[in-house]
Every structure is written in C-alpha cells, then in structure tokens.
Amino acid sequence: MPADFRRYALFYLGYYGVLGAYTPYIGRWVASHGHGGYAVGAMLALWYGGRIVAPPTWARWVARSPRPGHWLFAGCLLAALIFAGFLRYDGGLALFAVMGLFAVCFNAVMPQFEAMTLNALGPRNHDYGQIRMWGSIGFLLVAASYGWLLDRLGDDVFIWLTLPWLALTAFAAWLHRADPAQPPPAADAPRDALWRRPGMRPLLITVLLVQLGFGPFYVFYTLHLQAHGHDGFAVGLLWAIGVLCEIAMFWQAPRLVQRFGAPRLIAACILATAVRWVLVAAFAGSFAWMALAQVSHALSFAAFHAGTMRRMAELFPQRRDMAAAQGLLYGFSGGIGGVLGAGMAALAWQRGGGALAFAAGAACSAAALAVHVSMQRRRTEAHA
C-alpha cells in the first residue's frame, strides 16, 4: 500500500473499530439496563436515522469549505465527546437524545471520507477494497474481544472500552486536515440529477432492501445468540469468523469485480445473504451452522460493498459528483433502510423472537434480488 494511503487505512481502522463495538454490543448494553426490544430497536433506528439527516447537510457544508479536512476532524471529535454522555445517561429521554446526537455526528463523516478515498484513488478505484479492509480489521479486533470482556468486566464498561476507538478516529481525521478541497458540483447539475442518473434508482432500491434485511442482524444478532445458549466468547468468535472472511474478501474483491463485473457480483452476494438469514432463523442453537452462516459475510457484506462502490464509480465518473452521490447512497439506503430495518426487526422480535425477525430479513433479501435481476434484464434488453 502506498504510504499516503496509510492515512486512509488508519481512519477506516478507527471508524469501524467503533462500529465493531456499537453494532454487536449496544443492544446488550441497553438490555442490561432493563430496556426491552423496542428500546433496543429505537436505539438502532436513531443510529440509522442519523444517516438520513446528516450526510446531505454535511455534504453541502463541506462543499463550501476550502478546508474539508477540518470538517472531518470536527465531526469525529464531536462524536467522541457526545458518546461520552452515555457514561451519565443510560435511561429515559436523555439516553435517546445522546444517541440521536451521536448518530448525526458520526454518520455525517463517512460519506465525506468515502468520497475522499475514491477521489484519492482516481483510476485505481479497484484498489478500494484493500484500503477498506483495514476497517474490517478494526471491527474484528473489537467484535471478537468485547463479548469475552463484557462477560468478565460487566456490561457497564462498554462505554469506557469504546471511547479509545473514537479517539483514534479523531486522530486519524486530524491527519487529513490539510487535504485539498474537492471540485465543486457543476452549476448545471442540480442534486436531483443524481437521483435521475440512469441506473441510480435501481441501485438505491436494491441496497435499501439489502440493508432492510440486515436489520435483525445489526439489532438483535447478539441477543438472538445469547437466547440460544451461546456465551460471550462464542458470540465474539462468531462475529470474528464473519469479519475474518470479510477481510479476506476485501483483499480479493478487486479481482472479482474486474472478472465478473459489478452487476453479476451483486446478484451472487444478495442470493448468499438470503440463504444466510434462513440459516440464522432456523439453526441459531448450532454453533456449526452459525459459523457457516457467518462465512457468507464475505459475500453478503464485503463483496457486495465492493461491487456497490464499483457501480457508483461507473455511474459517477466525474469526481465532482462523487461526494453528493455518496451522501445520497448513504442516506437513502443505509439511512432509510436502516431505520425501517430496525423497526421491522423490533416488531418481529417482540412478536416472534429471532426466528421471525431473521425470516423477515431473508424475505427482504429475496425482494432485493428480484429487483436487481429485473433491472439487469431491462438493461440487457435496452442494449440489445
């Protein structure tokens, strides 16, 4: 990896290290304070809601600034300070207020950084996976160890364990403070033109449905495993298996994208994801089946993400449009899809437990595959 790209890898390491704490274990921390499934779902819904509100506004502010790196650092520093509020507020409306503010700040910066990374790569965008892989390493280090640590130290240390990763993210952002401003959007290309770009709407709908299917995984996977008798070490190990396979896939993703193309790779990933959720719904008590399901994370997350990034680079070859396009993707799919996924997961969890929640996730993935295949057929027919 070129020396300059190490700064980008460090940011992904810290940022996804935070997610490695938050995604698997925030539900456990909330439940340990006496809150039920709806409260856990609300915490994740607020998290994803931040993806709807923050990125578009943040992108406008960054576009007007001659020093976008300062905005990146400010967002990361604010996120760390706000997250420390959980040390005092663990219930009532204050809990959700802290969550909402943290979600806005932390979610605002990633679309900006994704655009900075793709712009820095330029024609080498196929190497994105090898930089993004370091985010998976950060996620792995945290997700694999926190279950064991929380079993021994108690759930209350969760916030203290996560704050150093937020500090690392802020430090990594500081290293980008002098990065040059990105080219401004063209005056004759309004933002709604991004939505009308041929191929963009089908991609957004597909990614939204995939994100919807991930709702039960992000909200209740740890609790689902605990309900079926797995201890903290086993839970952490299962998360680690998924992320190890994810890391290996990010390393190989450039070759897969170049060989098969983004559309075919995305279709294969969605199919694997649907099968994965069926396994989690039906065989959660078996560590072996859960390990097999986690192996498919290489496709359902890493290869899918790399394929999506390649498709975005194809749809928006002009660098000046990339930041706004990333904000649209992040907010619409990850934001709206995440909120709806958390709500769906909470409702299904309360009514039928993890089995119903993950069965609903499988149905969403099947719908995503149907949309994707249908749109690819239309593209093929249009070019015939």
Under 8 Å CB-to-CB from 177, ≥6 apart: which residues? 67, 69, 70, 72, 73
Contact 213, 276 (CB under 8 A): no
- Whether 366 shows a pLDDT value over 90: the answer reads yes
In the block, tokens 């997961």 appear at 345
42-61 pLDDT, tens digit each: 888 888 888 787 777 777 77
- Whether 337 shows a pLDDT value over 90: the answer reads no
Looking at residue 3, its pLDDT comes to 52
Question: 118-127, 225-234, 260-269, 333-342: which range is least confident on average?
Answer: 118-127
Contact 210, 304 (CB under 8 A): yes
- Whether 240 shows a pLDDT value over 50: the answer reads yes
Supply angle C-alpha 183, 185, 188, rounded to 5.
140
Give the percent of the chain with pLDDT over 90: 47
Range of the domain at 24: 3-182+189-383
Number of folded domains in the chain?
Answer: 1
Output the pTM of the full model: 0.79
Looking at residue 129, its pLDDT comes to 73
Radius of gyration of the chain (CA): 20
- What the block records as the tokens of 99 is 């969550």
98-155 pLDDT, tens digit each: 999 999 899 888 878 887 887 777 766 667 777 888 998 899 899 999 999 999 999 9
Contact 317, 329 (CB under 8 A): no
More confident residue, 41 or 58: 41
Contact 89, 98 (CB under 8 A): yes
More confident residue, 263 or 316: 263
pLDDT averaged over every residue in the chain: 86
Question: 120-129, 285-294, 345-354: which range is least confident on average?
Answer: 120-129
307-332 pLDDT, tens digit each: 998 888 888 776 666 767 777 787 77
DSSP code of residue 320: G
Question: Which CATH number belongs to the domain containing residue 27 in this structure?
Answer: 1.20.1250.20
